[in-house]
Amino acid sequence: MSNDQALESKIRIVLVETSHPGNIGAAARAMKNMGLSRLYLVAPEDFPNEKAVFRAASAADVLDQVVVCPTLQEAIGGCSLVLGTSARQRKIPWPLVTPKIAAERVVAHRLDPADIAVVFGRESKGLKNEELQQCHFHVNIPTSEAYSSLNLAMAVQVLAYEIFCANTESETAIVWDQPAATSDALEHFFAHLEDTLESVGFHDPDNPRQLMTRLRRLFLRINPDKMELSILRGFLRTVNEAIRK
């Protein structure tokens, strides 16, 4: 049970550019109902607002502790597992799972020391491609074809509920010898990788042809640990030194 406590305190619910403060309050209530407390808001349109407090009901403490960030990258800083909710499949398909599978992965990740983020997009149009490409994998809540657009707070409720159920039921966790790499470290790696690919003439920034997108997807899917990432970066450094000679 001490592990379960630890998991809940490591989960960040991240809402990106939310329009309606009522949805923020309803999301806070849904979170507290399911034992979550860490709400991150990326550039909310209208917060704080008393509508959020009203809809939060007895979860005003979650609102009091909200972390407001200017960018998604900041909101997921330090996280070693980032899930993005997505209504539809994109041009370049990303690993896409159901809420149940997503919840199982979150629970399986619970022994890793870093935080876990579940990211929700705008009410009107979800997450942008560049935001989705900062996620290790995507979650899609199954819906009727006749009306597939869930209310934002409802989506938070479904994911928080599935994580609560999985955390209550599951006894399994991934045992690993190294902590997983954080999002920040991965972004440094991606920048280093892109520079290197350009230096060796493999990557033309004026004609990118989805190269970096595909590489992001590859390395995010692997969810590398810190040791692996430092090996990869050591390799890139060696390549760069070799070119300069």
From the CB of 102, what's the least distance to a second copy, in Å? 13
202 touches a second copy (CB under 8 A): no
The whole-angstrom separation of Cα 70 and Cα 75 is 8
Half-sphere exposure of 181 (CA within 13 A, CB side): 24
Closest approach of Cβ 105 to a second copy, in Å?
Answer: 17
Q: Does 102 bind a second copy (CB under 8 A)?
A: no
Enumerate residues 204-223 that contact a second copy by CB under 8 A: none
Token duo for residue 62: 């979650």
Give how far the C-alpha of residue 232 lies from the chain's centroid of Cα atoms, to the nearest Å: 22
One residue of 70, 91, 125, 142 binding a second copy per CB under 8 A = 142
**Residue 180 phi, psi (nearest 5):** -70, 155
Instruction: Give yes or no for residue 32 binding a second copy (CB under 8 A).
Output: yes
How many of the chain's residues bind a second copy (CB under 8 A)?
30
CB nearer to a second copy: give 106 or 153.
Answer: 153
Helix (H) or strand (E) holding 38: strand 38-42
Q: Which is nearer to a second copy, 137 or 164 (CB)?
A: 164
Residue with tokens 């989805």: 210
Q: How many CB atoms lie within 10 A of CB 70?
A: 9
The CA distance from 116 to 109, in Å, is 8
80 or 86: CB nearest a second copy: 86
| Letter string b/e over residues 13-46, b meaning 16 or more CB atoms within 10 A of that residue's CB | bbbbbbebbbbbbbbbbbbbebbbbbbbbbebee
Of 35 and 179, nearer to a second copy (C-beta) is 35
The least CB distance from residue 160 to a second copy, in Å, is: 10
Work out which of 1, 93, 146, 218 binds a second copy, going by CB under 8 A. Answer: 146
Instruction: Name which of 75 and 159 has its Cβ closer to a second copy.
Output: 159
- The interface mask with a second copy, positions 71-100, x = CB under 8 A, is ---------------------------x-x
Report the alpha-carbon distance of residue 47 to residue 69 in Å, rounded: 12
Instruction: Using CB under 8 A, list all residues that contact a second copy.
Output: 26, 29-30, 32-35, 57-59, 98, 100, 141-144, 146-151, 153-154, 157-158, 161, 164-165, 168
